[in-house]
Amino acid sequence: MAKIVAGFAASHSPQLNIKPDDWHLIVDRDRANPNLDFEALTAAARPDIEDFLTPEARERMFGACQVAIERLGEIHREAKPDVVVIVGNDQDEMFKYDNMPALAVYWGDTVWDKPRRIEDLHPSQVPGEWAYHAEQPETYEVSSELALHLIDSLIHDEFDLAQLNSQPEGRSIGHSWTFLRRRVMQDAVAPMVPVLINSFYEPNQPTPKRSYDLGRALRRAIDSWDSDARVAVYISGGLSHFVVDEELDLRVIEAMRTKDKDALLALPEDVLVSGTAEIRNWLVGAGCFEQEPMELIEYQPAYRTEAMTGCGMGFVRWLP
């Protein structure tokens, strides 16, 4: 049977790919965001927020995250997986509102990374685009055999699952997957199986329990695959954003570390909104690795404004 040899969860924020000197570009986008009430958020901000906004503080946070990403790359290369199951959330990339399943698995032989037109991007996206897309279209090999096994197993585990073996015209696999390929796997690329979760978009987001149960079902499926392949499971996304909620992030990390399933399932859905909704991805990892120890590699509350906008940057590994 297949053997799981590595697992981790990682943030994939643009702040990880843009030098702190250019974070002002993202700040400009924050200030133009109609869903952010800067006055109210600033009034409610932690009293020491300015300490996190100095050039020195930003460099420290950025540097710590770069070390964490490098460590994930080492874990990947040391594990030498034959195939990688990547759990992430599509954000208006493969799926649009005309068809947006809660859960899906891609099982085509290859999947395309299609670069975006630079002129279509916000200025804040341009400096970090290298971490999400190549300059020319690239194909990633997919383990269709494992993907089809996952689909069959999840259906028999009573998950109503969407499946696709080709991409809609002009649409790329999302940054949840390309970030890990480009920043973590780099020249040690293994065939992948994209598992897609609708973390972001109402009204069909999986509940915390459903997300956790999906992780458990994925584990059963991988463990039952009649193969001698070495499999890694990587979780892409999170934690809190576009407003940092450090208390929530640390609560989730601690509950995962101590295997406090009840605390994870009790997370209120009204906080799992906007970018913070990607915590659902981490719950899949928690379910998949509910028996294995978890190690915190790094956590940084990467604030970028006095309104506490930014991203809670989390990096953890499981020890199968």
pLDDT category at 224 given cuts 50, 70, 90 is: very high
Could you list the beta-strand ranges (E) of the chain. Answer: 3-10, 83-89, 103-106, 110-113, 138-141, 162-164, 192-197, 230-236, 294-303, 310-318
User: Tokens in use for 307?
Assistant: 């309104």
Decide: 188 and 77 in contact? Cβ < 8 Å.
Answer: yes
Instruction: Taking residues 67-76, report their average pLDDT.
Output: 98
pLDDT at 241: 97
pLDDT at 28: 93
Decide: 193 and 253 in contact? Cβ < 8 Å.
Answer: no
Decide: 90 and 99 in contact? Cβ < 8 Å.
Answer: no
| Rounded Cα distance, 128 and 132, in Å | 7
Instruction: Taking residues 135-144, report their average pLDDT.
Output: 96
Closest to 300 (Cα-Cα) out of 24, 62, 29: 62
pLDDT at 189: 97
pLDDT tens digit string along 166-220? 999 999 999 999 999 999 999 999 999 999 999 999 999 999 999 999 999 999 9
Decide: 146 and 229 in contact? Cβ < 8 Å.
Answer: yes
pLDDT category at 249 given cuts 50, 70, 90 is: very high
Residues ≥6 apart with Cβ < 8 Å to 157: 217, 220, 221
Q: CB 167: neighbour CB atoms within 10 A?
A: 17
**In order of start, what are the domains of the chain with their CATH numbers?**
3-318 (3.40.830.10)
pLDDT at 83: 98
Number of residues assigned to the chain: 320
Decide: 202 and 139 in contact? Cβ < 8 Å.
Answer: no
pLDDT at 267: 98
3-state SS string over 39-81?
HHHHHCCCCCHHHHCCHHHHHHHHHHHHHHHHHHHHHHHHHCC
pLDDT tens digit string along 83-128? 999 999 999 999 999 999 999 999 999 999 999 999 999 999 999 9
Residues ≥6 apart with Cβ < 8 Å to 171: 93, 94, 114
Start-to-end CA span in the chain (Å) = 15
pLDDT at 78: 98
Angle of the 246-257 helix axis to the 279-288 helix axis, nearest 10: 10
pLDDT tens digit string along 259-289? 999 999 999 999 999 999 999 999 999 999 9
Instruction: Taking residues 10-17, report their average pLDDT.
Output: 97
pLDDT at 165: 96
| Rounded Cα distance, 177 and 61, in Å | 24
Q: Distance of CA 114 to CAs 44, 134, 263, Å?
A: 41, 8, 39
Instruction: Taking residues 222-228, report their average pLDDT.
Output: 98
pTM given for the model: 0.97
pLDDT category at 16 given cuts 50, 70, 90 is: very high
Report the chain's mean pLDDT, rounded to a whole number: 97
pLDDT at 140: 97
pLDDT category at 228 given cuts 50, 70, 90 is: very high
Query: Which pairs with CB-CB distance under 8 Å and at least 24 residues apart come from 253-256?
Result: 253/296, 253/299, 253/314, 253/316, 255/286, 256/282, 256/285, 256/286, 256/294, 256/316
Closest to 137 (Cα-Cα) out of 163, 184, 166, 170: 170
Least confident of 53-57, 67-71, 94-98: 94-98
pLDDT tens digit string along 39-51? 999 999 999 999 9
pLDDT at 65: 98
Residue 110: HSE in the Cβ half-sphere, 13 Å Cα cutoff: 8
